[in-house]
Structure formats: structure tokens, C-alpha cells
A and B are shown apart, each in its own frame.
Chain A
Amino acid sequence: MNGTGTMEAAPAGGAAMDAGYLLEVENVRKEFPGVVALDNVQLRLKRGSVHALMGENGAGKSTLMKIVAGIYTPDSGSFKLRGDDIKLRGPLDALEHGIAMIHQELNLMAPMTVAENIWIRREPLTRLGFVDHGEMRRKTAELFRRLNIDIDPDVKVGTLSVASRQMVEIAKAVSYESDVLIMDEPTSALTEREVDHLFTIIRALRAQGKGIIYITHKMNELFEIADEFSVFRDGKYIATKASTEVTRDDIIRMMVGREITQMFPKEEVPIGGVVLSVKGLALKGVFSDVSFDVRAGEILGIAGLVGSGRSNIAETVFGVTPADAGTIDLFGKRVRIDSPSTAMKHGLAFLTEDRKETGCFLLLDIQENTQMAVLQSGYVKSGFVKQKHLAKDSVEISQALRVKTPDMAEPIINLSGGNQQKVLIARWLLTKPKILILDEPTRGIDVGAKAEIHRLISKLAGEGVAVIMISSEMPEVLGMSDRIMVVHEGRVTGFLDRAEASQVKIMELASH
């Protein structure tokens, strides 16, 4: 169907087509229960170019990539590949159409060799139907020669470094003769030399006419490797520009966008004495020398990119991953927190980042989910749970949080994300914490529930609870926090007071 070319693309014709768009995605919309992840966004990828996607966490980049890679099906919108309308039926279908995604979490099988990983499902066979290992080795070596990759096709993937595995992933994508390659923060685990090598490969691929979609948070990479970039914000498409025509500040402004209004009102409350004091906290290979104080009634925001170590700091303070070094003082007393139950005994509570993985008991009902943490310390008499008393208090707190459910015996899996989050908050409020750590308290939940949760956090601070709030959403951090601690690559890069804090300042501290 060549007739449906776009306005920009020249009519059919070999060389002219090469200059046209490889991929055109328009008016794409994707909703998840309770949130609009993508709201009529577009993306146009030129042949022989590197196109960067920029945006804050939660801007919709990953959702868009998953749609392009066939992992998600869009609710609506058009999808053109090489000028033809197509509909992807899944990741495998995308691959067969020449769209390959190199995942952040690598999808290789560690006990198998490099060659076996690359040709899986497509192994060259001998006449008798056995795998032709010689041929497979030869094809791999040839592929690697083309990409200038120096890896032995016969070694087990498990013995390779992260960088080498990434090269194998890229080679695998290329082996499908893919035209569109999607790279999701490919340099996050690479050293500088490895990054240089990766960029050499990317340039080679670009020269071969491939289109590369490149997700990154790193500004300098954008200028170094990308030809064009598109900015997204809150699930909306903002703009596409050539990377030569903008400055770093322009991009930050586009990413941040909206003016900060009083969207997240934090009430002014009297701030008390220091309740939690962390000094020199370290977890080998994750973060080091983290020191901060939190006072009663204070909200300390922690900002930083995903993977900066901000969640790890919270996990260590709560004893999920006990520290390798450093001290924690609670209410002026030195304590050793080696497990969550110790942390809870000292009045800490921790709403984790990942509702599904570390939050909800999806098989259990709302009541069970609400009461699980408090059972450690109360509502139990000689082993028996005081269910009536507990149920009464649970219902009370759920109503205060406006959990929308007809009854507490409803399995939590049937609730929307926002309501699940409220149940988890209720779980921790039942324990009457003095220090509340919230990791992404409003991720993936709708605006209404968000405002309610913010009001609640503010109210708790007013009651003298010390709150530590980690968030990827700049307006949330700026609106709610009394102070903001910014983390970058496992180090604290600065503190900002409420008055002086701005998105640009945070971004500067959070990236380089």
C-alpha cells in the first residue's frame, strides 16, 4: 500500500523512500485502569537517524516504546511502518516487522552460549534436523565482524559483563535485519569506554540506514548521539526538535513545562526536633556516604532519577537491606536496624515503590491487606487476632482514606491502583508510625486520589509525623517537601530548601 504515503514522504521510489519516515506513530492513546498513560502522542522516526525520547519519569516514554515494540496494544491511533499501516500482534510480530527492542533488563539466557542466544528459534539446521553449530558460529562471527564486536560466539552469556551482554542483545536485534532499534537507557550500566564503543556501533547502524529510538535521561548523550529528539510530559507529546537547534536549558524547560502552582498544598506546620538522623550510610555498590536529618512534622523529599539509589536508601533505613556502613539515630538514640520488624518497633513505616511486588497481597482481601503490618505489634491476644476490634479500626481508617469498596472482604486485586495504594497507606497508618517513608506514594494513580493522598500526607505531618517522600514527579516533590534531598548515582548531591528549590535546580543536581 504505497499510495498512503505521508505529505512529507516523496511518492514511491527507492532513494526517495530512504529519506522518508521509517516509522510514523500518530494520535496514539493508551489508558490503564485509572490513568491515561499516553494522550494522543506522536513519534516520527527517520531512516538513518538516532531519535532520542526525553521526559521525566512517568512522562510516557516507556509506554510508547512498548507500543512500538508490540508489547502493548494502543487503544487508538495510527501506526505506519515504511509508509504502510500495520497492526502489531505482539513482540514477536514486531520483530518480524523489523522492530527490535533492546531491553533495559536484558533478556538473554545466561547458561547458553552467545551464538545460541542470538539464533534462538532460528538455529541453522543440518540435513538431519540437528542444530548446525558450525554454521551458527560462522554466522555469529560474521555478524560481529559487521558490528565491530569482539566477543567469542562460544562463551556462555553468563560469563560476560553487562556491556558485552548489551552488545550481544544489539547484535541479536540486528540479526533480525531490524530497521527500527529501540534502546531504553542503554548506557545506564556501562563505563565510559563501553559507552564510546556502543556509540561507535550506533553510528555504524545509523550509517546503514537504521532508525534508532534512544531513551535517555542524560543530557550530554543527547547532544553526542541523537539527531532529533521528542519530548513528552505527563503522557502528552510536547515537541520534536533537531538536537543542534536547542540548548540544555531549552530541553529542561520543555520537559518540566507547567508552571508550579499550588497543586500540592503542604500546610505550614510547626517543625519539631530531629527524630531520624542518618550519618555516612552506605550499601556496597549502591550508595555511599548518605547523611540526612528529618524532624517531626517535616516532609523531606528525595528526588533523583530512577536507579539513582533513592529507593535503596529508604530500603536500608527500613532494614530491608541492612547497611554496610553508617549510623542511624532515632529520637537521639543510636539503633541498629537489621530487619523491617526492628524498624517497625522503632516507629518507622515504609510504603514501598512497587505496589504489586512488595506491597499488596494480591490473593488476600482488603481486610487482610490492611491489617498485616499491625499484627506484629497489636490486636493480638495470646496468639489470637482480635478480629472484631481490628476490623472496626480498619474500616474506620479505610473510610477516612476513602477507599472505594463495598466491603472489606473484597479481594484487593479487584481494586484500582489508587485504591490499592490507599489500602497500603491504611496498613501503615494502623501501626501509628512516627516516621513514615513513602516511596512514590502516588505513582500510577489518578488525579483525584493523588490529591487525597497529598492532603493526607500533609495532615500527618501536621500531627507531628516525620515524612520522607521519594518521588519522580517534580511538582509533587516541590509542592509537598519542606526540604529536598537530591540523589545522583548513589551520592547525595545536594539539599534544597522549599524556598530555593526549583525544577531546574533539581534537574541539575540529579543529572550531569
Chain B
Amino acid sequence: MSTNEIAGTANVIGSKKRLPPEVSILGVLIGIAIVFEILGWIFVGDSFLANKQRLSIIILQVSVIGIIAVGVTQVIITAGVDLSSGSVVGLAAMVAASLAQTSANPRAVYPALTDMSPIWAILAGLGVGLLAGMVNGSLIARTKIPPFIATLGMMVSARGLAKWYTLGQPVALLDDSFTWFGKSFNILGFPLPLPVIVFLLVAVIFHIALTYTRYGKFTYAIGANPQAARVSGINIGSHLVKVYAIAGLLSGLAGVMTAARAASGQPGMGVAYELDAIAAAVIGGTSLSGGVGRITGTVIGTIILGVLTSGFTFLKVGAYYQEIIKGMIIVAAVIIDQHRQNKRKKA
């Protein structure tokens, strides 16, 4: 055997051009769309994609999920999870709706607070979300209980609050100035609903925040290696409160949009949205073990969920089958994600 002294000869690493990880997810999205297009011509005799209305609806359907997913992505990057998003949507929708009622409603929740500027309803909805998120974050930072448990508690309690708020009654007859936020606009002949615009705006803002700000750098650092982050001087507790507060705020925003679109507040709004949001993030390449994930991926993941729902409906696949297949696709995405990570570790 040779006794070569390998000391001193550090390995020289070849330069590799790296494609952004979203490229592969985008490929999946395009692939799914093409499959639906082909199946459409075969089984329905119609084009899946060449339909402005449908394209618009695809995104509209998932824009609320998308807004939540942007927050959830950030939480997952810190190696956490937020199960409370759906319940917070319900609670925020109820609170916002209760402050957006018209005086035409003889049984308004707050008869003295009708016909107000929609700004109050929106602020109240956002405030509820922010508060819930801060409670989540503080619980996790202070008591060190797992995020799963802290947000599970919030999920149950917030849903309870949403029901207790009006003792289970829906909140109806909302002011037009409020429901305007759920409407569509024609932009260059393309029907663009406001929730979609809000979703994309939120995505752009937090893409920038994650990529170019200290907040973003610290978010990745905490997820990648909390001990190293702490030794690097990052205050993990206070940063986690921020991340969960943002996730809560975005759930609140999603609640406001939901109430505006439905022109009512119902305590059952947003049930299981957290799961769709987590699925969107994970399909988009966010790693549940933290440190990895991008908003662009999450946006594509969200659209994939929309395309799946819309495509199945277009192909007249029964609702039950849709759910079965959707579940399998989510699991497949996580399997691929793990595979990707293992490859990264071996590299």
C-alpha cells in the first residue's frame, strides 16, 4: 500500500453552473399542464389551457392558499411548521366581516359599527392574524415546545374562537366597499381578481425579504443550523417570533380576502387550508428539515395545486378521486425532496 502524504493537497473543486431549484418544479408544472391538455383533447375534446377564464380561476382558487403558503414557507425554512393558518383564516374572516357589515342588517354583530370604512375591517383581520402568530412564536421561543404542538393548540383554539365569536352564526350583508377586495378586474382583456394580485404582491415582497434582507439571511441560518446561528450572534427567540408573526399576519390577510370574496364571514372558513399551504411549500422545494426553500418555488407549488384541482374538474374526475390523487402527489413531492437532500449530503 502506498504511503502518500496527502497533507497539504486540498481538494480542488470544479466549478459547476447551478440552475435555480425552481427550474425542476417549473418543469413539473408544465408537464402536468401538458398532460391535462392532451387528456383534454382525448376525453373532453377541448383545450385545457386555451381558456382565459380557466387560467384566471386556477390562480384565483389558490390565491388564498398562496398567501398563507408564503408565510408557511418562511416558518418551514426555520425548521418549524404552522398548523394554525386555516383556523386563523376563519377567525380573521369572522372578525373582519363583523366590522364590515351594512346598517341594512338588522342583526349586525356590532350595530353601532356598521357602514364603516373597510380599512377598519381589514386592519382588524390583519391584527387578529398578527396576534395569533405572535402567540405562536412566543410560545415556541419561550417555552421551547415544538412548533407542531404550539400551532396545533392555536389551530384548535382559534377555530373555537371563530365559532364562539357569533356563537356559530355566519356574518352576512357586508358593505360593498369591503367585498370590492374580492372582485375581479379586467386588465388587458384578462380577468384578474384582486386576491390574485394580492397573492403575487405578497410573494414578491417576501421573496425580496428572504433573498436580500438580514431578516431573510437569519431565517435560513436558523433553519440550517440553530446552534451555529446562536453562536453567530443571532437571537433565535426574537427572530422566530417575527417569522411566526408574519405567517399569522398573512393568514389574517387570507382571512380578510376570503370574507371579501364570499361577502360573508363563516366560522368554518379556511378548514384544512394549512395543509394545502404546507403542501404547496413542500411541492415547491421547501425542506421540512429547514434551511431550504424559496418563495418562487412555493408560488409554483401553489399553482400546481390549482392546476391539479382545475384539471381534474375539467376532466370531470370525481371529487373523491381528486383528493386521493392529490394526496399521492404531495407524498411523491416529499419523497423527491428527501432524495434531493440525500444527494446534496453525498455531494
Contact = CB atoms under 8 A, between A and B. Distances in A.
Interface of A: 27, 29, 31, 33-36, 39-40, 75-76, 318, 320, 339-341, 343-344, 350, 352, 357-364, 368, 371-373, 375-376, 380, 383-385, 387, 404-407, 409-411, 413-416, 418-419, 427, 446-449
A343 B230 CA distance: 12
Contacts of A362: 224-225
Contacts of B235: 339, 341
B189 interface: no
B232 A448 contact: no
Contact of A447 (B7, B18, B212, B213): B7
Contacts of B217: 368, 371-372, 375, 385
For chain B, the bracket of interface size reads: 35 or more
A405 B224 contact: no
A447 B221 contact: no
Interface stretch (B9-17, B67-75, B243-251, B298-306): B9-17
Contacts of B347: 411, 413-414
8 contacts: A363-B292, A372-B217, A375-B214, A375-B217, A380-B214, A384-B213, A414-B13, A446-B6
A446 B3 contact: no
B137 interface: no
Contacts of B119: none
Interface in B1-36: 1, 3, 5-15, 18
The 6 closest A-B CB pairs, nearest first, are A448-B8, A406-B15, A361-B224, A341-B233, A363-B291, A447-B7
A445 to B, nearest CB: 9
B10 A416 contact: yes
Interface in B282-325: 291-292
A122 B24 CA distance: 46
Contacts of B291: 361, 363-364
B273 interface: no
B3 A39 contact: yes
Nearest to A382: B213
A436 B225 CA distance: 22
A398 to B, nearest CB: 13
Main SS at interface, chain B: loop
A372 B213 contact: no
B220 interface: yes
A201 B347 CA distance: 46
A407 B16 CA distance: 9
Contacts of A344: 233
A33 B11 contact: yes
B188 interface: no
Given A363-B344, A375-B218, 7 more contacts: A341-B233, A341-B235, A364-B291, A413-B345, A446-B7, A446-B8, A447-B8
Given A40-B3, A368-B220, A446-B7, A350 B231 contact: yes
A114 B107 CA distance: 66
B177 interface: no
A36 B6 CA distance: 8
Contacts of B8: 446-449
Contacts of B224: 361-364
Contact of B229 (A34, A372, A447): A372
Contacts of B345: 413
A446 B5 CA distance: 10
B237 to A, nearest CB: 10
Contact of B213 (A383, A446, A449): A383
A36 B344 CA distance: 25
B230 A340 contact: yes
Nearest to A77: B1
B234 interface: yes
A357 B7 contact: no
Q: Which among B212, B233, B292 has the greatest number of chain A C-beta atoms within 10 A?
A: B233
A340 B11 contact: no
A404 B12 contact: yes
- Among A368, A373, A387, A413, max chain B CB count under 10 A is at A373
A305 to B, nearest CB: 23
A385 B212 contact: yes
B232 A383 contact: no
A355 to B, nearest CB: 9
Contact of B227 (A343, A358, A414, A449): A358
Contacts of B18: 409
Nearest to B290: A363
Contact of A419 (B10, B214, B225, B232): B10
Nearest to B216: A385
Q: Pick the most buried of A363, A419, A449: most chain B CB atoms within 10 A of its CB.
A: A363
Nearest to B345: A413
Contacts of B213: 380, 383-385
Contact of A385 (B1, B11, B214, B227): B214
A360 B230 CA distance: 12
Contacts of A35: 7
Given A404-B12, A404-B13, A411 B228 contact: no
B110 interface: no
A120 B5 CA distance: 44
A40 B221 CA distance: 41
Contacts of B221: 361, 364, 368, 372
Given A27-B1, A449-B10, A376 B233 contact: yes
Contacts of B15: 406-407
Contact of B232 (A413, A418, A427): A427
Nearest to A450: B7
B200 to A, nearest CB: 21
B212 A384 contact: yes
Nearest to B12: A404
A357 B224 CA distance: 11
B220 to A, nearest CB: 6
